[in-house]
Amino acid sequence: MFIRNKNVGDVMLDLGRFPVVTEDIILKEALEKMDKFRLGVACVVSSNNQLLGIITDGDIRRKLLTMQKPLVAFFIDDAINQSIKTPVIVTSSMGLIDAIEIMENQQVWDLPVVDNGELVGLLHLHSATKALLLG
Amino acid sequence: MGSKIISIGYGNVKKVELGATLPLVFFGGPCAIETKDHALFMADAIGEICQNLNVPWVYKSCYDKDCRSAPDSFHGTGIDEGLKILANVRDEFGIPVMSDFSDASWAAATGEVCDMVQVPAYLCRQTSILRAAAETGRPVHLKKGQYMSPWNMKNSVRKLEAYGCDSIILADRGTFLGYSMLVNDMTSFPIMQKTGYPVCFDATHSIQLPTSMGNISGGQREFIPYLVRAAAGCGINALFMEVHDNPKAALSDANTVLDLKYLENVLHQAKIVHETRLELLDKFGEGNVHPE
């Protein structure tokens, strides 16, 4: 399949292959999950898998540099409180090239893939570039 | 700040609701149950004051004081006699009652009689105690340990929730155990409210000077009104004070209990500050100054 014919859904990471946490999880647990998957992003979802926000390494790094409270208080805060509530998202039917352009324009490595409000996957820059290289 | 509404009271007692923007609730009574007559006298006297001020309240008194500094200090009536007396108070006045418990095996019996069970501050991290409290099915008054930060109380809340409890009130009773002095951090109230549950200020234990007199604890009762006004201004949902008609003769915490003759004064001030705070919230909002 030519790259121009590929959609986000063809190369995205499916559920179970990237960190997804529920809204009652504390930040420490979300970071541990990100570490386990070796990805710099975690998606926060409701009980019916609606995307509520995302947490990224970069956002946490910036917060650590400006935070005025003890680290333990930061760790124990609800992950949802420390998430970006309106992340840039794509759908699984979006063309891969268009999604990569969004990554370039927004300077992001990861795009949650949301169909009808429900989180279905994650487009990661590595899998997107791999698809590009393989043509 | 929003919090869950907690309902206290089963059966025929007058139910007490607290949380969110509901009126301030009072938890009070003698530290330890002394005799049946004294318990009934105190319930009657406090009830009259609360009725005059229109303050909903829960009678609190404990049957076993397991954290006394000396082995020969009054330990309490014991669970059987104490719970009978609490049941008498409940039946006589139609008010909810509360006691703490220091041993997990006492929880079920405590929950059978009491409308709310209390987890002592010393034991607020103990999984067996928290599990036993949750399994009573009653609302849990969870004291913040003097050694705990307010944000770390979330771990205790999560334990209670894990064992099925969703009616929790978190209380501050001062911080810095071990140096014969307690300090109140008023930011503990909005921080603990972030758990989503109502918060309470334990005024009479906060002015305690733990074991400052060698084998008993001292106290600085004169600071009670100052701390109560500050806590009411910081958004507490309930105020806790141990009260005695003759503090010098009290069998437990004689140096910290509030003299009954001052209860109306202090409670009235707390109510006014609480109501004023709600008016200010209506006018100016909260959480909109340097929000996170």
Q: Please, are residues B156 and B133 in contact by the beta-carbon 8 Å criterion?
A: no
| Predicted confidence (pLDDT) at residue A41 exceeds the cutoff of 80 | yes
Residue B227 falls inside a structural domain: yes
- Contact between B151 and A26 using a beta-carbon 8 Å cutoff: no
Nearest by Cα to B141 from B239, B44, B231, B66: B239
Q: What angle do CA A44, A30, A35 make, to 5 degrees?
A: 125
CB contact, 8 Å: B292 with chain A? yes
Nearest-Cα distance to chain A for B151, in Å, is 6
What is the structure's pLDDT at A2? 67
Query: Rounded to an integer, what distance in angstroms lies between the CA atom of residue A68 and that of residue A65?
Result: 9
pLDDT range class, residue B157, cuts 50, 70, 90: very high
Q: Flag whether residue A73 sits within 8 Å of chain B, measured between CB atoms.
A: yes
Position of tokens 């429900």?
A118
Asked if residue B5 is part of any domain, the answer here is no
Which residue in the block uniquely carries the two structure tokens 């918060």? B199
Chain A residues within 8 A of B191 when measuring between CB atoms: 73
Tokens 């703490």 map to which residue?
B100
Between CA B17 and CA B136 the distance in angstroms is 19
Degrees, nearest 5: CA angle A15-A16-A20:
75
pLDDT at B220: 92
> Which chain B residue has the Cα nearest residue A69?
B151
**In contact, B192 and B170? CB cutoff 8 Å:** yes
Q: What is the pTM of this model?
A: 0.88
Q: Do B155 and A76 touch (CB under 8 A)?
A: yes
Report the residue of A28, A75, A76 to disrupt the B interface, i.e. the one with the largest count of B CBs within 10 Å: A76
Please report the beta strands in chain B, taking only residues with DSSP state E, as ranges in sequence order. Answer: 6-8, 16-18, 25-29, 57-60, 97-100, 116-119, 140-143, 168-172, 199-202, 208-209, 218-219, 238-244, 258-259
Of B151, B194, B292, Cβ closest to residue A72: B151
In DSSP notation, A84-123 reads BSS---B-TTSBHHHHHHHHHHHT-SEEEEEETTEEEEEE
pLDDT at res. B102:
96
Residue A101's pLDDT band (cuts 50, 70, 90): very high
Q: Does the structure show a pLDDT above 90 at B179?
A: no
The C-alpha atoms of residue A35 and residue B287 are separated, in whole angstroms, by 32
Q: How far is A31 from chain B (nearest CA, A)?
A: 17
Is residue A55 within 8 Å of A83, Cβ to Cβ?
Answer: yes
pLDDT in tens, A114-124: 999 999 999 99
Q: What are phi and psi of B35, to 5 degrees?
A: -140, 165
Say whether residue B131 is in contact with chain A using an 8 A CB cutoff.
Answer: no
Lowest mean pLDDT: which of B122-136, B185-199, B208-222, B268-282? B208-222
Report yes or no: B123 and B104 within 8 Å, Cβ to Cβ: no
Residue pair A24/A78 in contact by the 8 Å Cβ criterion = yes
pLDDT at B180 exceeding the cut of 90:
no
Cβ-nearest to B292 among A26, A76, A81: A81
The confidence score (pLDDT) of residue B292 equals 62
User: B63 and B99 in contact (C-beta within 8 Å)?
Assistant: yes
Return left, alpha or beta for B165; rule: phi > 0 is left, psi -120 to 50 is alpha, else beta: beta
pLDDT tens-digit series, residues B46-87: 999 999 999 999 999 999 988 778 888 888 899 999 999 999
Give residues 13 to 52 of A whose Cβ lies within 8 Å of B. Answer: 26
Strands A51-56 and A41-45, by their bridges, are: antiparallel
CB pairs < 8 Å spanning A and B: 17
Q: If you measure CA to CA, which chain A residue comes closest to B290?
A: A68
Average pLDDT score over residue span B222-241 = 97
B290 in any annotated domain: no
The stretch B272-289 carries a mean pLDDT of 92
Residue B292 lies in a domain: no
Q: How far is B281 from chain A (nearest CA, A)?
A: 22
Query: Is B211 near chain A, with CB under 8 Å?
Result: no
Predicted confidence band of residue A37 (pLDDT cuts 50, 70, 90): very high
Q: Where are the domains of chain A?
A: 3-134
Helix (H) or strand (E) holding B264: helix B260-284
Cβ within 8 Å, pair A73-B191: yes
Indicate whether B288 belongs to any domain: no
Cα distance between residue B212 and residue A22, in whole Å: 47
Average pLDDT over residues B120-131: 97
Q: Within a domain: residue B136?
A: yes
Predicted pLDDT at A125: 94
CA distance B38 to B35: 5
* Contacting residues of B for A73, CB less than 8 Å apart: 149, 151, 191
Pairing of strands B97-100, B57-60: parallel
Q: Which whole number is the average pLDDT over B177-199?
A: 92
In chain A, what residues touch B154 (CB-CB under 8 Å)? 26, 76
ipTM value, please give it: 0.70
Of residues B26 and A24, more confidently modeled: B26
CATH of the domain at B274: 3.20.20.70
Nearest to B203 by CA among B226, B187, B234: B226
Partners of A71 on chain B (C-beta within 8 Å) are none
In angstroms, the separation between the Cα of residue B152 and the nearest Cα of chain A is 7
Q: Mean pLDDT across the stretch B183-194?
A: 95
Domain range for B181 is: 13-146+153-283
User: Would you say residue B263 lies in a domain?
Assistant: yes
- Interchain CB distance below 8 Å, B152 and A70: no
* Confidence (pLDDT) at B2: 64
d(CA B232, CA B272): 9
pLDDT band at A67 (very low <50, low <70, confident <90, very high): confident
Query: Lowest-pLDDT range, B20-24, B172-176, B251-255?
Result: B251-255
d(CA B240, CA B203): 6
The vertex-B206 CA angle with B201 and B208, nearest 5°, equals 155
Decide if B93 contacts B44 (C-beta within 8 A): yes
Question: CA–CA separation, A45 vs B83, rounded Å?
Answer: 46
Domain count, chain B: 1
The structure tokens listed for A61 are 């790094």
Instruction: Read off the pLDDT of residues A3-15 as tens digits, 9 standing for 90 and up.
Output: 778 999 999 999 9
The answer to whether B291 contacts chain A (CB < 8 Å) is: no
- CA distance between the termini of chain B: 14
Tell me the CATH number for domain A3-134: 3.10.580.10
